[in-house]
Amino acid sequence: MGSYGGTSTSDFKALYGKIERALEKFEQVSDSTRLLEVVMETLVQDFRDDLGIEMARLYRREGEDFYLRGVFGGSRPVQLGFKVPRDYPPHVRTLEKGLLVMDRDDPEYDEQFEWAIGVNSNFAAISVGPGATHVIAFSISGDFREEDILYSLSAVRHVINLKLQEHRLAGIIDEARVIQESLLPESAPESSVYSIHGQSRPAEVVGGDFFDYMELPDSVLGIAIGDASGHGLPAALLARDAFTGLRMGIECGAGIVSTVEKLNRVVHRAELSSNFISLFYGEFHPDGSVDFCNAGHNPPLLLSRGVLKELRKGGLVLGPDPSAVYDHALVGMNPGDTLVLYTDGIIEAEDPAGEQFGMDRLAGTVRECGRSEVNEIVSGVFRASVEFSRGCPQRDDMTVVAVRRIPRSEN
């Protein structure tokens, strides 16, 4: 392509791949402006023959204006901070079209202006970033075909925008990961009455499942599990809001039903109100009684003396109906009884034929593992669900929490 003799589709793809590979080594650069400076230097150094570039300049949008913030190459120094006139025709055309090629004979080419920023040749420019946050301008040496340069700069612009988008998304994902980590407890509280263990596996980097433990007055333990619809960042944000609201209500002594009803109204008014959250919350007392409310969540399974019971009492999922009314119920756990809480990612795991793991298989697993240590129960449920899937990808977040009332012989 150095001779600019006509650009084919294969030439374009080859150049695109070469540029993409060259920029991969700069993925750890976190600042967008610095990334573009590195990109600019790389294009001048490594793509002079491919693109005919002999100098590159970086302009950054600050308010409504663009200022010169970086220069690489060229035969004489240029003062940074130079402001580009808003009405300068090449600048306007670049922002309108996304890219521009201009030779010195063009009537809109201002030799005095270009000389001030070190340009005394033909040049090209591209706008990059969301909302055209930056402009990169190149001095082009030798003869060129405008079609070839446009093809080449189109590849450059696409790769750069892709890298900027990846940086932006990486930042969002990092923030979401922090949110996710803040929702999940590092360990279960110590208790002489209950043994507890929980684990969550998001389908993506972050997810909408959460569980929580609260140490309340009179040696009562609050345990919650929830599932925001969907997964990824929106679900993680919704789960964070539910997590915070539940903690605030319970720790202020508002009571289970009052807290859940208020949380339902909060979720309904949230910006992500098209989504919803299922929630199970229970308070585990030293005498083995459990006061709970199930807001549309998969019913936890209580294994007591060989019999399985589903804990369903409560009401609708949180969010869709701000006037929904909730209820609570009391159930007893005998020494040795086990309660398994889970999200629908467990029972909706599919095998290659599309069949779901389902409640029957979960119930069988709980019966089989119910007398084991709680960490073994959690591992056993995950293992059974994953083995049933036989290599099919995880489609939803998966969470399991096991609570076992410690037998008297172990106290």
Is 4 within a domain?
no
For residue 320, the model assigns a pLDDT of: 86
pLDDT band at 274 (very low <50, low <70, confident <90, very high): very low
Most confident of 84-88, 227-231, 361-365: 361-365
Burial of residue 269 (number of CB atoms within 10 Å: 0-12, 13-18, 19+) = exposed
Query: What CATH code is carried by the domain that includes residue 146?
Result: 3.30.450.40
Cβ-Cβ contacts under 8 Å for 42 (sequence gap 6 or more) = 22, 23, 26
Lowest-pLDDT range, 153-167, 196-210, 233-247, 378-392?
153-167
Do 237 and 99 share a domain, yes or no?
A: no
Is 3 within a domain?
no
Query: What CATH code is carried by the domain that includes residue 254?
Result: 3.60.40.10
Do 165 and 191 share a domain, yes or no?
A: no
Which of 175, 192, 227 corresponds to the end of one domain?
A: 175
Is 69 within a domain?
yes
Say if CB 400 and CB 199 are below 8 A apart: yes
Share of the chain above pLDDT 70, in %: 80
Do 227 and 142 share a domain, yes or no?
A: no
For residue 180, the model assigns a pLDDT of: 64
Say if CB 134 and CB 65 are below 8 A apart: no
Taking the model in full, what pTM does it have? 0.62
CA pair distance 135, 128, nearest whole angstrom: 6
For residue 99, the model assigns a pLDDT of: 87
Q: What is the pLDDT of residues 1-18, one digit of tens each?
A: 343 344 445 555 566 566
Do 246 and 342 share a domain, yes or no?
A: yes
Average pLDDT over residues 328-345: 97
Which of 175, 208, 239 corresponds to the end of one domain?
A: 175
Q: Which residue has the higher pLDDT, 96 or 26?
A: 96
Could you tell me the residue range of the domain that residue 146 belongs to?
9-175
Do 158 and 197 share a domain, yes or no?
A: no
Do 170 and 188 share a domain, yes or no?
A: no
Do 216 and 282 share a domain, yes or no?
A: yes
CA pair distance 29, 344, nearest whole angstrom: 39
Do 142 and 200 share a domain, yes or no?
A: no
Is 2 within a domain?
no
CA pair distance 276, 59, nearest whole angstrom: 44
Do 353 and 207 share a domain, yes or no?
A: yes
Cβ-Cβ contacts under 8 Å for 74 (sequence gap 6 or more) = 54, 55, 118, 139
Q: What share of the chain is helix, strand, coil (3-state, %, to 5)?
A: 40, 25, 35
Do 196 and 306 share a domain, yes or no?
A: yes
Which of 121, 154, 175 corresponds to the end of one domain?
A: 175
What single letter denotes the amino acid at residue 16? Y
Do 199 and 83 share a domain, yes or no?
A: no
Is 287 within a domain?
yes
Is 1 within a domain?
no
CA pair distance 20, 22, nearest whole angstrom: 5
The answer on pLDDT for 343 being more than 60 is yes
Strand partners, 400: 199, 342
Overall number of domains in the chain: 2
